[in-house]
Structure 1
Amino acid sequence: MDGVNVSVVIVNYNTLKMTNECIESLHKFTKDTVVEIVLVDNASTDGSKDFFSNDKRIRYLYLEENIGFGRANNVGAEVSYGKYIFLLNSDTILLDDVISKLFNFAEKHLKDDLGAVGTCLINSNKEDALSFGQFVTSKRIYRRLLETFKIYKNKFELETYAKLNEKGFLEVDFVSGADLFIPKTVFNKINGFDHDFFMYYEETDLQKRMSKLNLKRYIINVRDIIHLEGGSFEEKLPFRRKMMMTKGMKLYINKHFKGIYKFQIIILSFLILLKDLFKLNYTVSQKISLIREVFK
């Protein structure tokens, strides 16, 4: 498929309705850029296979087992034809031709060691949602703990959005994995997502490896994608999801930190976990298993 500018890779796992709405919005608003849509299905059992295998607008890949978010994206990227790969969550809805905006920005900055680009995601109320973040450091974990006791007020997001409104784009540590626009040459250079991550922290690890190669990650001041999950922390966060988060965090720590500093990060992460466990209505055995995971 010569001439494809952007390959949109979407991973589906039992989210037939949301995924279809995402695809519909892509087709409705994408006008000025040649795109293909690659849908990778992580062994869904909700009728997705019958539904999407007959959709001629997409390339549909059904996997016989759930191999996780990052690995499924790797599968889609491997068969893609585009100059750029746009990793888009299935629980997103486009409100405009955002792909053309990302493509045009990337083309202007491709020679400036471009690693990845994302937009300012919004929730269903059209309020700013989790769109970017900072890499894990002991200083940042200390600040998060101080926030809990009202000793410190984190102004990072407010200051970032203010700079974005002024400049139009901004370099960040990492972009949310919900809308990650990457040159395919870069994705191949860093060998895509680490297969050891099943879900959570895989996009942080991906962009940490970009940073080590001095590849830049940007957020642009565009609010054309609704992220239905919105990145919010829920008091009723399912235990299975919290365990995946904890495993992802520990894998990230083991991979990127060493020695005494690694031990310090683990201890601080444990304190953050304790803070979270006070909010979450888990059984004693579930809480113990999470704590054990941190110190494995």
Structure 2
Amino acid sequence: MEKVDVSVVIVNYNTMKMTNECIDSLHKFTKNVNIEIILVDNASTDGSKDFFSNDKRIRYLYLEENIGFGRANNVGAEASKGKYIFLLNSDTILLDDVISKLFIFAEKYSKEDLGAVGTCLINSNKEDALSFGQFITSKRIYRRLLETFKIFKNKFEVETYAKLIKNGFLEVDFVSGADLFIPKTAFNKVNGFDHDFFMYYEETDLQKRMSKLNLKRYIINVRDIIHLEGGSFEEKLPFRRKMMMTKGMKLYINKHFRGIYKFQILTLSFLILIKDLMKLNYSREERFSLIKEVIK
């Protein structure tokens, strides 16, 4: 039996067409490493089960209920045989042999302190998309509150991309969950994703726990993955999505902060929510539900 270098884990939830396009691109471009593709289906009802269950290119794991993004990835990781696990969103399309590039980087820096690697994601117009981020701090939230004033414009992303282009790779707080390349030993060391997170902030929590074990997270200067962000949502930012984001944020704060600092972070997060609600077209009941979620 051929050795598996990388186990690609994709979670599908009613994104049959996009998931199939993602799988097609994996097979088209991956040339220099041995991969297996594990598709974990979160109880899709769009015909995915009939469509994928006989696809010989993949290992198809159908779940009888939607258990959330992180937990479904844990199912795929547990079934994986590769040295590395590549957690790839179903709404992505590869444009080149990205997995080989990630594999080469990981092998070069495969010390015991390697936690995760990601690429510079691009959108359908081939512009830079959300690929990395900073952990929550009071300073970061204050900056977000003041971003509307030009003098306080957050230059973090611009400065990070400039350093990345110069150096070829860069250490970051966390990599986007859309393309997380992780040594299986590191994934197991942090016990995978926290089951309490359904969707949103689960990859931030995972990498926060990595940081506490001194496992480093990197972005490499590669732009070969299109991320059609939010592909499983019909609207740009529907209320259901915003509620999941808010619940994930609240859970993350409760888990990683204590005492007066936790109170400060929650207060600032409440102000950010109020700022966001001024721009979002939600009903009065929906606005109240989001506010209640933060302050309860």
Q: What SS does structure 2 have at the residue aligned with 1:194?
A: coil
Q: Which amino acid aligns with 1:100?
A: S
Report how far residue 57 of structure 1 moved: 0.6
User: 1:110-129, CA deviations, whole angstroms, 9 ceiling, x for partnerless residues?
Assistant: 11510000000000000000
Q: What SS does structure 1 have at the residue aligned with 2:111?
A: coil
C-alpha contact (below 8 Å) 2:230/2:236 kept by paired residues: no
Other-structure match for 2:220: 220
Other-structure match for 1:178: 178
Q: What SS does structure 1 have at the residue aligned with 2:222?
A: coil
Aligned mates of 1:5, 1:45 — CA distance in 2: 32
Aligned mates of 1:112, 1:49 — CA distance in 2: 39
Report how far residue 94 of structure 1 moved: 0.2
Other-structure match for 1:257: 257
Report how far residue 153 of structure 1 moved: 1.1
Aligned mates of 2:76, 2:194 — CA distance in 1: 14
Report how far residue 148 of structure 1 moved: 2.2
Q: Which amino acid aligns with 1:171?
A: E
User: 1:96-141, CA deviations, whole angstroms, 9 ceiling, x for partnerless residues?
Assistant: 0000000000001011510000000000000000000000000000
User: 1:211-244, CA deviations, whole angstroms, 9 ceiling, x for partnerless residues?
Assistant: 000000000000000001179xx99511111000
Report how far residue 295 of structure 1 moved: 1.3
C-alpha contact (below 8 Å) 1:129/1:230 kept by paired residues: no
Q: What SS does structure 2 have at the residue aligned with 1:260?
A: helix
Other-structure match for 1:20: 20
Other-structure match for 2:105: 105
Q: How does 1:86-105 map to 2 (within 5 A)?
A: 86-105=86-105
User: 1:134-188, CA deviations, whole angstroms, 9 ceiling, x for partnerless residues?
Assistant: 0000000000111023340111111111011100000000000000000000101
Q: What SS does structure 2 have at the residue aligned with 1:99?
A: helix
Q: How does 1:5-154 map to 2 (within 5 A)?
A: 5-111=5-111, 113-154=113-154
Q: What SS does structure 1 have at the residue aligned with 2:150?
A: coil
User: 1:235-280, CA deviations, whole angstroms, 9 ceiling, x for partnerless residues?
Assistant: 9511111000000000000000000000000000000000110111
Aligned mates of 2:134, 2:230 — CA distance in 1: 17
The number of residue pairs the alignment matches comes to 294
Q: What SS does structure 2 have at the residue aligned with 1:93?
A: strand
Aligned mates of 2:48, 2:279 — CA distance in 1: 35
User: 1:82-104, CA deviations, whole angstroms, 9 ceiling, x for partnerless residues?
Assistant: 00000000000000000000000
Q: How does 1:224-235 map to 2 (within 5 A)?
A: 224-229=224-229
What TM-score does the superposition give when structure 1 sets the normalisation length?
0.97
C-alpha contact (below 8 Å) 1:2/1:81 kept by paired residues: no
Report how far residue 285 of structure 1 moved: 1.2
Q: Which amino acid aligns with 2:135?
A: F
Aligned mates of 1:152, 1:79 — CA distance in 2: 47
Q: Is 1:166 equivalent to 2:166 in the alignment?
A: yes
CA RMSD across the alignment:
1.4
Q: Which amino acid aligns with 1:281?
A: N
Other-structure match for 1:281: 281
Q: What SS does structure 2 have at the residue aligned with 1:106?
A: helix
Q: What SS does structure 2 have at the residue aligned with 1:148?
A: coil
Aligned mates of 2:281, 2:41 — CA distance in 1: 32
Q: Is 1:202 equivalent to 2:175 in the alignment?
A: no
5+ residue gaps, structure 1? none
Aligned mates of 1:295, 1:256 — CA distance in 2: 17
Percent of matched pairs sharing the same residue? 87
Q: What SS does structure 1 have at the residue aligned with 2:146?
A: helix
Q: Is 1:191 equivalent to 2:191 in the alignment?
A: yes
Q: What SS does structure 2 have at the residue aligned with 1:129?
A: coil
Aligned mates of 2:107, 2:162 — CA distance in 1: 25
Q: What SS does structure 2 have at the residue aligned with 1:147?
A: coil
Aligned mates of 2:116, 2:237 — CA distance in 1: 29
Aligned mates of 1:205, 1:109 — CA distance in 2: 23
Aligned mates of 1:175, 1:236 — CA distance in 2: 22
C-alpha contact (below 8 Å) 1:123/1:129 kept by paired residues: yes
Q: Which amino acid aligns with 2:227?
A: H
What TM-score does the superposition give when structure 2 sets the normalisation length?
0.97
